Structure 1
Amino acid sequence: MAKLALLVATFALAFLVVNASIYRSGHSSCERQIRQEDNLRHCQKYLEEECSDSPYNRPGRYLDSCCQQLENLERECRCEGLQHAVRQQLEEGEWEREEARELFQVAKTILRKCPNFEEPRRCEMQSRRWF
């Protein structure tokens, strides 16, 4: 009986190690893809245009190029990429609290505006850290 318990524990540990390894490699794969797409610079520009009050904005100018950058990412990495774009904007600029919330709201729905995407159509964003 003790041998069986030891065997089950060993398999459970091996399963956890493999699962954690797969998660880490998937996450690092997304990070690599995001870097290859210039940190989704066009999505950052789109967010900035949509959320800032500058009279020189031409909303939507960067949407097509943002969608193209997102299309170059694996589907599983798109929301993480948008989260990254929002973080970059928040770190680089001076955003009021309401403007920052708007950044997250706009980022959540960008995928709906891209014509070639089926799933996901909406991203959940981790905004708690910023507020």
Structure 2
Amino acid sequence: MAKLALLVATLALAFFVVNASIYRNHPDRSWCERQIRREDNLRQCQKYIEEESSDSPYNRPGRYLDSCCQQLENLERECRCDGLKHAVRQQLEEGEWEREEAGELYQVAQMILRKCNVEEPRRCDMPSRRWF
């Protein structure tokens, strides 16, 4: 009987570990949204995207890149693409951007992961021009 109890306890522990691992590797959308909010809605990435997409002569290219990269590093890797998409949507809602310029904002966001040299993901599927 003791061996059976030990076997059941071991199986229960294994199930718990596997279940926790699956959740850790595949967070749901609300988990990512909480992380993004915790990182101030990736405000530094928003500033970087705006700066890189703007024709202002006062731009200092790359000024916000390091802080944007840090915010992305603080997110679970599965949430980074959602975070960048969120940053672009925030820019579109808050900024003086025309609908045609949305593609450029998404292109800048697409390059951030490569510039930040994060391990994963290296690329995000951003909305195409036909989506906006």
TM over 0.5, shorter chain: yes
CA contact (8 A) 1:90 1:100 kept: yes
Structure 2 residues without counterparts, runs of 5 or longer:
1-22
Give the match's secondary structure for 1:109: helix
The Cα RMSD (Å) is: 1.9
Is 1:60 the counterpart of 2:62? The answer is yes
Report the CA distance shift for 1:38/1:127 in structure 2 as closer, same or farther (over 3 A).
Answer: farther
Counterpart CA distance in 1 for 2:46 and 2:36 is 12
CA contact (8 A) 1:43 1:85 kept: yes
Deviation at 1:63, TM superposition (A): 0.2
- Equivalence map 1:85-96=2 (5 Å): 85-96=87-98
Matched with 1:10 is none
Code of the aligned partner of 1:124: D
Runs of 4+ in 1 over 6 A off after TM superposition: none
Matched with 1:75 is 77
TM-score (norm 1): 0.75
TM-score (norm 2): 0.75
Report the CA distance shift for 1:79/1:42 in structure 2 as closer, same or farther (over 3 A).
Answer: same
Structure 1 residues without counterparts, runs of 5 or longer:
1-21
Deviation at 1:126, TM superposition (A): 2.5
Deviation at 1:69, TM superposition (A): 0.2
Counterpart CA distance in 2 for 1:61 and 1:127 is 27
